[in-house]
A and B are shown apart, each in its own frame.
Chain A
Amino acid sequence: MCFRAQLFLFFGVSILCLLTACDPPDSRVQSSPTYARELVVYNWVDDMPGSVLDAFTREFGVKIKSVTFESQEEAVENIRNGKVYDVAVIENPFVPGLVAANRLAEIDFRQVPNFRNISANFRDLATDPGNRYTVPYHYGTTGLLVRTDLIGNAVTRWADLWDPQYAGKIAVRAQPRELIAMTLLSLGYGLNSENPQELEAVGSRLDQLKKSALLVEVDTPKAVSRLLSGEAVVLLGWPMDYQAARAANPAVAYVLPREGTALWSDNYVIPANSPNASTAMLFINFLLRPEISAQLVNEKHYPNANEAAYAFVRPEIRSDPVITPPAEILRRAHFFLPLTATGEVLYQRTWQRFLAAIPPSRGNQ
């Protein structure tokens, strides 16, 4: 019996066990990325071209389900009510409210490296310090589309909308903030005024507008068709409307009124209740690719917050002052700012008053 050998073996194994116990084995797990099968994108009607969405689906195998809203107020309401979307498009002034209500998910910028393409103009703005919840999308002005072939170049101001000679031929959309802001500007007040007296004046002025205005759809082709048919001679609209109208009738002009224009800016956000936040960030990062952002510009004619995209934007669009207004004009533009809670109530009351006013003789809303 070789008991000495046994002894050595016994001790040897025991010591080895002790030593190896000090060094636990490497238990790293490499997980392959798994994406959601479908993303719900909540956006303006007809905002994002199908070609872009298809490209994303092709590349990542994630289907995009588009859900649309007609106004920012509607979108905010739905997100606040807990409806589930994965990516939503929200304008700057509405962001702080949603953040305060814990309705937005914080964006992990390590997953959105293309954020580096965003212009410094849209970084770290007051509505979302440090861009914790938003990724800038695009921006633009609000102006007036005018049938110069019908009424010449007479319209240059917001106040002209109340000119009785155009009564019944002023087309506007039911966008509360925009209409109130435009009325404030026409009265010479600040765009984001929360002064009750000023808003009172806005209310009565909007009553007048309701009588002479034509409420049209948000959808660009439908709204523009009213203008093109001559049913309306002026349309309160956006560069995309202008591009569509201009293509059909070169006599349509886009006027940035003298009182100052309104500058709006849209952001991508991820609602806090989205179950697919990671895939949503993938989608946002995809949209921030220069060539993809350029495609958005090329197809929808809104200036994009993506600086790197401009190398891929068609020159005629890049040089079109309506689409990409010069910085001088933009500096003069007024920004929509978030409203305080009091302001919110006042605006809402003003809007309710407008809705309750006698409807236009030929409305269709």
Chain B
Amino acid sequence: MSLGAPESTSPREPGVPGGSLRQQALTVFGVTMLILLAVSIAGVYFLVHQTEQEGWRGRQREATQRVAQTVGDFMTRQQNLLQVLNLLGRDQPQGFPEALERLPQIQPVLLELVHIDATGRIKAHAPADGGILANLFTVSQSNWFRTAQQGKKYVGDMQLSAADEPYLIFSVPAADGEVLASRLRMDILNEVVADLHFGSTGIAYLVNRNGRVVAHTSPQRVLSHIDDQHPDLLRLIRTNTALWSGEYRNFQGEPVVGTMLSVPGTPWVAVTELSRAEAYASTRRALWSIAVVTALISVVMVAVIITLLERRFLRPMGWLQKGVQQVSRGDLSYRLDIVGPYEINQVATAFNDMSSRLQEREQAIALQTEALRDSEARYRAIVEDQTELVCRSLPDGSLTFVNEAYCRCFGKGREELIGSRFSPRVLSDDQPLLAATRAVLGPGNPVASIEHRIVLPDGAIRWQHWTHRAIFDVRGRICEFASVGRDVTERREVEEALHQAKEAAESANRAKSQFLANMSHEIRTPMNAIIGMTHLAMQAQAEDKRRRFLQTVKHSAESLLSLLNDILDFSKMEAGQLQLNSSPFDLRQLLEGIVSTMNVPAIENGLKLQISTEPDLPAVFIGDELRLRQILLNLVGNAIKFTPAGSVTIDVALENPSEADQKATLHFTVVDTGIGIPPEKLARIFNNFEQGDNSYVRKYAGTGLGLSICKQLTELMDGGIWVESRMNAGSSFHFTVRLQPSTEKPSAPASTGTAGQEPLFQGLRLLIVDDNEVNRDVASMILEQDHAVSTAGNGLEALMLLASRPFDAILMDVQMPVMDGLSATTFIRAFERGETAIREVPGALGPALAERLAKGHIPIIAMTAHAMGEDYAKCLDAGMDAYITKPFQPESLTATLRSLCVAGSPSGVTGAVRPAGDEPLADCPLPATVEDVVLYFKKTTRLGDERIANLLALCRRSLVDNLEKADEALEMKNFTGLGVAAHTLKGTLAQCGLAGWAEKAQEVYDGTKKDRDLPYADLLTDLRHGIGALLEHHRLF
């Protein structure tokens, strides 16, 4: 059938009826015949139907008119009868009743006759035994009476009595407003309509305007009121007044053709109905005949046409088709031998020519193919011998070519690969890259290279470099891929290594740079201080200034050293060179050592440093005591640094009670009540060069390496470090270390164990209150040897210290700025008595003092230069327990202390300790010498040379300062300031044993107090000269 190749390759275009010519011919002829058939049937139907309908309509109208006519005639006859009666009645008034009575007997249709007078009374009636009309009591109201009385004829509608007797009332006007009425049988009308037949199913009936059947061929229909099956009747009789014909459903619900006509002179409508089946019987018969005949003709015609088509056209087409099939199968020598119409012969000749030409071309192609095969074999050999992997694949993934190397690489045979959809297993990480590469291939960009990893059949992962070329067909769609790949694993590995090395180098470099940046800052800060202070110290003339500068230099140098230590530790740890010692040590001693070391800064900060340990904590552990101490010192130091008030507690707990020869985990906690650490910083706090906040760096010195070192150290000890903190509520630094408990004794006992005979007296907590720094220092130096000493510059400071921690005794100067000793003592005693509501105590101190001092009695020893009875009394009045005179001697001081603190009740002690000096110094003092002062110090304090030198320096500084202050005050005419300076000078001089010069200073002080106009400048000059040696000596150092 196919004349050319397109039949099999190109899809049929939609919309064109494909398939055989034969079917198309059939369709065209068939549809044409069908249309002809339909048109002819419709035409015939229409004509026959019209004719038949007209015929029946005419017959029906005739019948209906006959019914109407008959009924109308009947009614007219009855009316005429009454008219006649009326006329009779007029002419023969006497004979009328008899005539009446006889009538119903003659006329069976008359049921009743009545004669009624103008008032509605019955004058006569027939039959004599009465009927319905004769017995009415509503005659005057009835419609028939009133209509006739108005001079009109009355024809009533059909009435059905309770006995189902249909009747009808007629009335006519009679003379003098009288009325003649008759009642008629209605069933007679049934017979009238029953007589009318037409067709075999035609019937006739009468209905009134309310749709009630008045007369019917079957009388039961009259009696039956409900006719639910005749839905159209009421509508039709109400809407059609004249003659009407049409189709509707009758009482039985069957379709009928009906005609309606009003019966003249009555309220009725005559109806005739004929079943539609009968009415249109001829139409239907004609329809069937026509349909059958035309169908037959159509079939015959179509058959003839198709047969002709088949014989003259389709058969030669079949031969042609067979020829083409032969050629397409390769039988080019096949020739057609067709005898047929001219057109067919032409086609056959053309076909034979084409076959010959095809045969020639086939031979030429065979030669070319041979040449191509040779060429292909040569190139194939080249491709096959490549070490690169070469393959070609279709877009659906199936391989069309692979070379030897490809097969080798994936361990599969060529036969296995070609045609299969094999592809190397690409590592899933690289698949997106591969897909992206494939996606970019297009006519504008046919080549793409990619490197990715593949998994070889033996599981090895190799890097391969692939170059994919897409080959496109004429429409620009990819029809094949040619891919060349090679293994680049070695190169990738080298690259990777190089890359990593570069990364490492860069990272190390970055770290170094950052470290240097941090360090340079940390080092520069103290370095600046050292350089700046050294410069100042070199320029400073005054010894004490220079000393202060150098003090700063020393602090800075110390912090530098600590920084360098930290860096050393840190770098050791960075380098992994930090080795931990392992020797037994006493944990408790370690903790106590830390407390004693850190107590001084703690007390300076007004903090309480305490230890809390579990009672069953083993005493001795084996580990690196030094490093543990370093951690604890660091944490405690931090805690003190960042805690403005409150306490610092070191808590040690054993986390898992150790069994024999097992390491125990020790949990250390350093709890402070300090400023806390912001939550966002908590994570970073253990990093290098981090503090809680950069702003802390300014406020609190430090390298920021401490916690980092602690972290590394705890890790070295198989532990960890972490922190819990709440802002402004304090921090808890936790760390754990794993140590081996030991029963061994530590090799070197740390404690010196100075268990004195009077332990109470040793280690008293003493508070020295003096405004004179020298006095304060002398006293503290003397007492520090055996006791914990705190100092305060005036009474208020003393109260503040008292509020923050307990003391065992107080040494109190009497005359001090801000708050003198007497007032302070009065406050203390008041608090001890529980009088809490004391005025003038700074608000925050009150409750703390009350709590601390309540119900106690703290010994207070007055320190005064004036051993006057009056002063003494004042002191005792204020509540002091004893007094000593300045300059005081160690013996007297300790004796007084002991008598007060050891003897228990201090009240008994009233004795004064007098200065040890034999006699007062000369009135006119000799110029002071350094030797004298040193001697005096040695005599009074029993301190070592070094300490005495310190003391001397302190005195010197105080004297120089105060002389300068005095000069300045004098210049400014500030006599109060002069008095203060003189007072301090007096105190210091007295402490140095220079009583004469002290009196000179006292003279100045007294003068300012009493507003006396003394030659202060001269007095000060005298003083300066007198103690000049002392001041000059200073310069000699």
Residues in chain A within 8 A of chain B (CB atoms): 1, 3-4, 6-8, 10-12, 14-15, 18-19, 22, 28, 92, 108-113, 115-117, 120-127, 129-130, 132, 307-308, 327, 330-331, 333, 335, 337
B136 within 8 A of A: yes
Given A7-B26, A113-B226, A116-B160, decide whether A121 and B137 contact each other with a Cβ distance below 8 A: yes
Chain A residues contacting B156 (CB-CB under 8 Å) are: 124
Other-chain contact of A3, B26, B159, B226 (Cβ < 8 Å): B26
B87 within 8 A of A: no
Beyond A3-B306, A120-B161, list 4 extra A-B contacts (CB 8 Å).
A7-B303, A11-B34, A123-B159, A130-B267
Given A110-B227, A124-B142, decide whether A12 and B295 contact each other with a Cβ distance below 8 A: yes
Chain B residues contacting A10 (CB-CB under 8 Å) are: 30, 34
In the bound assembly, the distance between CA atoms of A129 and B154 in angstroms comes to 12
B269 within 8 A of A: no
In the bound assembly, the distance between CA atoms of A117 and B159 in angstroms comes to 11
Q: Which residue of A lies closest to B288 (CB)?
A: A19
Q: Is there an interface contact between A120 and B132, defined as CB atoms closer than 8 Å?
A: yes
If over half of A's interface residues share one DSSP class (helix, strand or loop), that class is named, otherwise mixed; here it is helix
Given A110-B227, A113-B226, A116-B164, decide whether A331 and B26 contact each other with a Cβ distance below 8 A: no
Other-chain contact of A129, B34, B140, B143, B298 (Cβ < 8 Å): B143
B854 shortest CB reach to chain A, Å: 96
Q: Which residue of B lies closest to A7 (CB)?
A: B302
A261 shortest CB reach to chain B, Å: 12
Other-chain contact of A122, B138, B157, B303 (Cβ < 8 Å): B138
Chain A residues contacting B249 (CB-CB under 8 Å) are: 28
B516 shortest CB reach to chain A, Å: 100
Q: Is there an interface contact between B225 and A113, defined as CB atoms closer than 8 Å?
A: yes
Q: Which residue of A lies closest to B254 (CB)?
A: A26
Q: Is there an interface contact between B135 and A11, defined as CB atoms closer than 8 Å?
A: no
Chain A residues contacting B157 (CB-CB under 8 Å) are: 124, 130
In the bound assembly, the distance between CA atoms of A1 and B303 in angstroms comes to 14
B309 shortest CB reach to chain A, Å: 11
A287 shortest CB reach to chain B, Å: 15
Other-chain contact of A110, B22, B132, B210, B299 (Cβ < 8 Å): B210
B287 within 8 A of A: yes
Q: Which residue of B lies closest to A122 (CB)?
A: B138
Contact with A along B178-220 (1 / 0, CB 8 A): 0000000000000000000000000000000011100000000
Chain B residues contacting A327 (CB-CB under 8 Å) are: 135, 137
In the bound assembly, the distance between CA atoms of A194 and B16 in angstroms comes to 94
Chain B residues contacting A333 (CB-CB under 8 Å) are: 137
In the bound assembly, the distance between CA atoms of A10 and B161 in angstroms comes to 64
Chain B residues contacting A19 (CB-CB under 8 Å) are: 287-288, 291
B392 within 8 A of A: no
Chain A residues contacting B486 (CB-CB under 8 Å) are: none
A222 shortest CB reach to chain B, Å: 32
Closest 8 CB pairs of A and B: A113-B225, A330-B137, A121-B138, A116-B160, A124-B143, A129-B143, A308-B162, A120-B132
Q: Is there an interface contact between A125 and B142, defined as CB atoms closer than 8 Å?
A: yes
Q: Which residue of A lies closest to B38 (CB)?
A: A18
Chain A residues contacting B937 (CB-CB under 8 Å) are: none
Other-chain contact of B210, A109, A127, A307, A335 (Cβ < 8 Å): A109
Chain A residues contacting B37 (CB-CB under 8 Å) are: 11, 14-15
Given A3-B26, A28-B253, decide whether A111 and B138 contact each other with a Cβ distance below 8 A: no
Chain B residues contacting A308 (CB-CB under 8 Å) are: 162
Given A110-B212, A122-B138, decide whether A117 and B162 contact each other with a Cβ distance below 8 A: yes
Q: Is there an interface contact between B136 and A120, defined as CB atoms closer than 8 Å?
A: yes
Given A123-B159, A125-B138, decide whether A6 and B291 contact each other with a Cβ distance below 8 A: no
Chain B residues contacting A113 (CB-CB under 8 Å) are: 225-226
In the bound assembly, the distance between CA atoms of A333 and B291 in angstroms comes to 78
Other-chain contact of B41, A18, A28, A121, A337 (Cβ < 8 Å): A18
Given A12-B295, A121-B137, A126-B143, decide whether A3 and B23 contact each other with a Cβ distance below 8 A: yes
Chain B residues contacting A112 (CB-CB under 8 Å) are: 225
Q: Which residue of B lies closest to A16 (CB)?
A: B291
List 13 interface pairs A-B (beta carbons < 8 Å), by A numbering. A6-B26, A19-B288, A22-B287, A28-B249, A108-B211, A108-B234, A110-B211, A112-B225, A116-B161, A120-B133, A120-B136, A125-B141, A126-B143
Contact with A along B153-173 (1 / 0, CB 8 A): 000110111101000010000
Q: Which residue of B lies closest to A309 (CB)?
A: B162
Other-chain contact of B140, A7, A117, A132, A335 (Cβ < 8 Å): A335
In the bound assembly, the distance between CA atoms of A331 and B135 in angstroms comes to 10
Chain A residues contacting B22 (CB-CB under 8 Å) are: 1, 3
Q: Is there an interface contact between A108 and B137, defined as CB atoms closer than 8 Å?
A: no
Contact with A along B24-42 (1 / 0, CB 8 A): 0010001001100110010
Chain B residues contacting A108 (CB-CB under 8 Å) are: 210-211, 234
Other-chain contact of B284, A22, A109, A330 (Cβ < 8 Å): A22
Other-chain contact of A126, B26, B33, B141 (Cβ < 8 Å): B141
Interface centre among B138, B267, B284 (most CB of A within 10 A): B138
B45 within 8 A of A: yes
Interface centre among A12, A113, A333 (most CB of B within 10 A): A113
In the bound assembly, the distance between CA atoms of A6 and B299 in angstroms comes to 11
A173 shortest CB reach to chain B, Å: 24
Chain B residues contacting A307 (CB-CB under 8 Å) are: 162
A311 shortest CB reach to chain B, Å: 10
Q: Is there an interface contact between B141 and A335, defined as CB atoms closer than 8 Å?
A: yes
Chain A residues contacting B132 (CB-CB under 8 Å) are: 120
Q: Is there an interface contact between A110 and B225, defined as CB atoms closer than 8 Å?
A: yes
B144 within 8 A of A: yes
B94 shortest CB reach to chain A, Å: 25
Contact with A along B249-291 (1 / 0, CB 8 A): 1000100000000000001000000000000000010011001
Chain A residues contacting B226 (CB-CB under 8 Å) are: 110-111, 113
A334 shortest CB reach to chain B, Å: 9
Q: Which residue of B lies closest to A139 (CB)?
A: B138
Q: Is there an interface contact between B225 and A109, defined as CB atoms closer than 8 Å?
A: yes
Other-chain contact of B298, A11, A331, A335, A337 (Cβ < 8 Å): A11
B453 within 8 A of A: no
Given A22-B45, A120-B132, A331-B121, decide whether A126 and B142 contact each other with a Cβ distance below 8 A: yes
Q: Is there an interface contact between A116 and B303, defined as CB atoms closer than 8 Å?
A: no
Q: Is there an interface contact between B144 and A124, defined as CB atoms closer than 8 Å?
A: yes
Q: Is there an interface contact between A4 and B161, defined as CB atoms closer than 8 Å?
A: no
B125 within 8 A of A: no
Q: Is there an interface contact between A11 and B210, defined as CB atoms closer than 8 Å?
A: no
Within 89-138 of B, Cβ neighbours of A (below 8 Å) are at: 121, 132-133, 135-138
Q: Which residue of A lies closest to B303 (CB)?
A: A4
Chain B residues contacting A1 (CB-CB under 8 Å) are: 22
Q: Is there an interface contact between B141 and A127, defined as CB atoms closer than 8 Å?
A: yes
Chain A residues contacting B141 (CB-CB under 8 Å) are: 92, 125-127, 335, 337
A160 shortest CB reach to chain B, Å: 26
Chain A residues contacting B162 (CB-CB under 8 Å) are: 116-117, 307-308
Chain B residues contacting A22 (CB-CB under 8 Å) are: 45, 284, 287
Q: Is there an interface contact between A130 and B143, defined as CB atoms closer than 8 Å?
A: yes
Chain A residues contacting B159 (CB-CB under 8 Å) are: 120, 123-124
B187 shortest CB reach to chain A, Å: 15
A145 shortest CB reach to chain B, Å: 23
Q: Is there an interface contact between A7 and B295, defined as CB atoms closer than 8 Å?
A: no
B146 within 8 A of A: yes
In the bound assembly, the distance between CA atoms of A129 and B267 in angstroms comes to 13
B325 shortest CB reach to chain A, Å: 19
In the bound assembly, the distance between CA atoms of A113 and B226 in angstroms comes to 7
Other-chain contact of A8, B33, B34, B299 (Cβ < 8 Å): B299
Chain A residues contacting B227 (CB-CB under 8 Å) are: 110
Other-chain contact of B34, A14, A109, A330, A337 (Cβ < 8 Å): A14
In the bound assembly, the distance between CA atoms of A236 and B638 in angstroms comes to 123
Q: Which residue of A lies closest to B211 (CB)?
A: A110
Chain B residues contacting A125 (CB-CB under 8 Å) are: 138, 141-143
Chain B residues contacting A337 (CB-CB under 8 Å) are: 141
